[in-house]
């Protein structure tokens, strides 16, 4: 009986597995469209200009100490303004509990832990499909999970009446995970009117809306517009929670900067909730790394850098949108017999192509094009020089 004999390999992560297969492919034509990482039109990783400038601004002022309470609470304050709007009463009256988190993943994990501690009887409802890691995160926090229908694979549209039915059929007081914008992987978001209806039905059942906002600014190019869903639910009287990430919209993937916030009925409740967040963090990792937090709070507090950030977000989203248009057009020029309108109807980082697992496999083996098994293509890595090759490959495997 040797130690660790009982340990078997864990199942392959659907996204990391694609990158590993890509790295071991020696073809010069290979393209990795698995990971949701933004690239410029040359296919190179991007360091935003606002980040470079913030970096220069903080150089020398950084100490290898814990993130100071001032910088930390300032980051949270700026984050809640981004999510709920700077004029929100919750923000003005400080009726929120917020804490910096290890990016979006860490914010989700903290919330899942918090949920289990205080509402062990409630389930989390996840959309089908969703970012696969949501399932892992709530599983590891030992929160029972269910799913709700979201997307119809054959119409390639929202399955709106099914969303409402599943909200109505969930036990009262359930938690619902919602993507406020740029739904991953489908790229399809409810309209404002649909959010109103969703809000109404969640309220009737006293469900709790948890927003995972990993792509603010990446759907429309505008930060406020992308947070509209959250603001609709808040105006409708919901107390909501929100996980925020700066991985995509500031390109800070490796720095792990994020925020978890929960709206509260009053200051007293906000203090209690925040103290519980602090206790959870204390035992998990004590405190977050400082550098990324300083970068983000520098950008959010400096009007010039903030403006530059907003301009750069528009550049990112318009480049992605242009690639969607070219991909769509090229498939039509190739006389594909299928409709590819969904490529341009979807928003955000991903094209949920509708390719079957067999077609995805053929993309890999015949064309060295790597996408996830569900047919999700990362548009952030499609460029002027690879878009025609990609269109041709898609056309060949769907003939
Ligand atoms: N939520 C969603 C929906 C995502 O797509 C991602 C990134 N793939 C995350 C959360 C977490 O990303 P990060 O931890 O890098 O912020």
| Whether residue 244 has its Cβ less than 6 Å from ligand 1 | no
Question: Atom of ligand 1 at shortest distance to CA of 246?
Answer: 16
| Whether residue 380 has its Cβ less than 6 Å from ligand 1 | no
Q: Identify which of 102, 247, 376, 380 to mutate to test ligand 1's pocket (most ligand atoms within 8 A of the CB).
A: 247
Residue range 84-111: mean pLDDT, rounded: 97
Query: Percent of the chain, pLDDT > 70?
Result: 97
Q: Is the pLDDT of residue 1 over 80?
A: no
Q: pLDDT band at residue 60, thresholds of 50, 70 and 90?
A: confident
Q: Please tell me the residue having the least CA distance from ligand 1 atom 6.
A: 214
CA of 104 to the centre of ligand 1 (A): 5
Q: Is the pLDDT of residue 22 over 60?
A: yes
| Whether residue 227 has its Cβ less than 6 Å from ligand 1 | no
Q: Is the pLDDT of residue 203 over 90?
A: yes
Q: How long a stretch of residues is the chain?
A: 399
Residue 80 · residue 74 · CB < 8 Å: no
Q: Is 248 a catalytic residue?
A: yes
pLDDT at 249: 96
| Whether residue 245 has its Cβ less than 6 Å from ligand 1 | yes
Q: Is 131 a catalytic residue?
A: yes
Q: Is the pLDDT of residue 361 over 90?
A: yes
Residue range 242-255: mean pLDDT, rounded: 96
Q: Which of 189, 212, 226, 374 is catalytic?
A: 212
Burial class (CB in 10 A: 0-12, 13-18, 19+), 269: middle
Q: Is the pLDDT of residue 290 over 90?
A: no
Q: pLDDT band at residue 193, thresholds of 50, 70 and 90?
A: very high
* Element at 330 (helix H, strand E): helix 303-333
Q: Is the pLDDT of residue 66 over 70?
A: no
Regarding predicted confidence, which is higher, 196 or 291? 196
Point out which residues pair with 158 in neighbouring strands: 151
How many Cα neighbours within 13 Å face the side chain of 283?
A: 7
pLDDT at 72: 65
Cβ within 8 Å of residue 60, ≥6 positions away:
none
For the sheet containing 145-149, what is the strand order? Answer: 96-102, 257-263, 241-245, 208-213, 175-178, 124-128, 145-149
| Whether residue 216 has its Cβ less than 6 Å from ligand 1 | no
pLDDT at 74: 86
CA of 245 to the centre of ligand 1 (A): 7
Q: Is the pLDDT of residue 65 over 60?
A: no
Structure tokens at 128: 């089908």
Using only the alpha carbons of the chain, give its radius of gyration.
Answer: 21
pLDDT, tens only, 143-164: 999 999 999 999 999 999 999 9
What integer best gives the mean pLDDT of the chain? 94
Residue 345 · residue 188 · CB < 8 Å: yes
Q: Is the pLDDT of residue 209 over 80?
A: yes
pLDDT at 29: 92
3-state per-residue secondary structure call for 268-287: HHHHHHHHHHHHHHHHHCCC
pLDDT at 15: 79
Cβ within 8 Å of residue 258, ≥6 positions away:
100, 101, 102, 103, 104, 105, 106, 107, 243, 244, 245, 246, 247
- Cα–Cα dist 354/168, whole Å: 29
Question: Atom of ligand 1 at shortest distance to CA of 103?
Answer: 16
Q: Is the pLDDT of residue 122 over 60?
A: yes
Q: Is 340 a catalytic residue?
A: no
Q: pLDDT band at residue 69, thresholds of 50, 70 and 90?
A: low
- Cα–Cα dist 341/360, whole Å: 19
Q: Cα angle vertex 345, ends 339, 347, to 5°?
A: 135
pLDDT at 192: 98
Residue 188 · residue 219 · CB < 8 Å: no
Q: Which of 228, 248, 340, 374 is catalytic?
A: 248
Angle between helices 69-84 and 291-301 (to 10 degrees): 60
| Reported ipTM | 0.99
Query: Percent of the chain, pLDDT > 90?
Result: 90
Q: Is the pLDDT of residue 14 over 80?
A: no
Residue 249 · residue 217 · CB < 8 Å: yes
């Amino acid at each position: 009986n040797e130690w660790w004999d009982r340990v078997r390999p864990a199942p392959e992560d659907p996204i990391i597995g694609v990158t590993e297969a890509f790295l071991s492919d020696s073809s010069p034509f290979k393209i990795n469209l698995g990971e949701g990482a933004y690239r410029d039109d040359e296919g190179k990783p991007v360091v935003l200009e606002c980040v470079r400038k913030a970096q220069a601004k903080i150089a020398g002022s950084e100490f290898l100490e814990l993130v100071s309470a001032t910088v930390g609470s300032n980051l949270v304050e700026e984050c809640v303004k981004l999510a709920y709007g700077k004029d929100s009463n919750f923000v003005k009256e400080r009726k929120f509990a917020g804490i910096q988190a290890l990016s979006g993943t860490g914010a989700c994990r903290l919330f899942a832990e918090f949920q289990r501690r205080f509402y062990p009887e409630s389930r989390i409802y996840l959309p089908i499909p969703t970012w696969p890691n949501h399932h892992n995160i709530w599983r590891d926090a030992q929160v029972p999970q269910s799913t709700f229908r979201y997307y119809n694979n054959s119409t390639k549209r929202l399955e709106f009446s099914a969303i409402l039915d599943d909200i109505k059929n969930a036990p009262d007081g359930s938690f619902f995970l919602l993507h406020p914008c740029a739904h991953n992987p489908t790229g399809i978001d409810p309209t404002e009117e649909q959010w109103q209806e969703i809000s109404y039905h969640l309220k009737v059942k006293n469900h709790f809306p948890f927003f995972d906002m990993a792509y603010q600014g990446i759907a429309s190019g505008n930060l406020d517009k992308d947070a509209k869903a959250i603001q609709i639910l808040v105006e409708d009287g919901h107390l909501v929670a929100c996980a925020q990430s700066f991985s995509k919209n500031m390109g800070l993937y490796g720095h792990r900067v994020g925020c978890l916030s929960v709206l509260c009925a009053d200051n007293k409740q906000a203090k209690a909730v925040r103290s519980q967040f602090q206790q959870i963090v204390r035992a998990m990792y004590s405190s977050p790394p400082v550098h990324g937090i300083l970068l983000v709070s520098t950008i959010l507090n400096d009007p010039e850098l903030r403006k530059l950030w907003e301009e750069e977000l528009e550049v990112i989203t318009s480049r992605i949108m242009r690639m969607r248009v070219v991909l769509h057009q090229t498939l039509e020029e190739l006389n594909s017999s299928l409709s590819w309108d969904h490529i341009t109807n979807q928003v955000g980082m991903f094209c949920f192509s509708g390719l079957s697992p067999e077609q995805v496999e053929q993309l890999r083996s015949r064309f060295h094009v790597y996408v996830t098994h569900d047919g999700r293509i990362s548009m952030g890595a499609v460029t002027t020089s690879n878009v025609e090759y990609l269109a041709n490959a898609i056309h060949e495997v769907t003939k």
